[in-house]
Amino acid sequence: MPYVNIKITREGATAEQKAELIRGATQLLVDVLGKDPATTVVVIDEVDTDNWGVAGETITLRRGRARAGGA
């Protein structure tokens, strides 16, 4: 009966990629803990890059700097 929540930035993940995340996360719970896939729920949240921060700055800013030649 596990519940898995995956949060990623909204940067174009396709429906097929999201389906793969759901398949893979469900299988992981089966493989490691023997959980029943029928009641395993996976929810993916896609978050705007303005709304996600790491190291005190938004992903928008980090992506912009990376594109400008930084890392």
Residue with tokens 């999201």: 18
CB of 70 to a second copy, least distance (A): 15
37 noted as active-site residue: no
| Beta strand 41-47 pairing with 57-58 | unpaired
The contacts of residue 47 (CB under 8 Å, 6+ apart) are 7, 8, 9, 10
Residue 35 in the binding site for a second copy (CB under 8 A) = yes
Q: Does 5 bind a second copy (CB under 8 A)?
A: yes
The yes or no reply on residue 4 touching a second copy (CB under 8 A) is yes
Residues near a second copy (CB under 8 A) are 1-9, 13, 15, 17-29, 31-33, 35, 37-47, 50-61
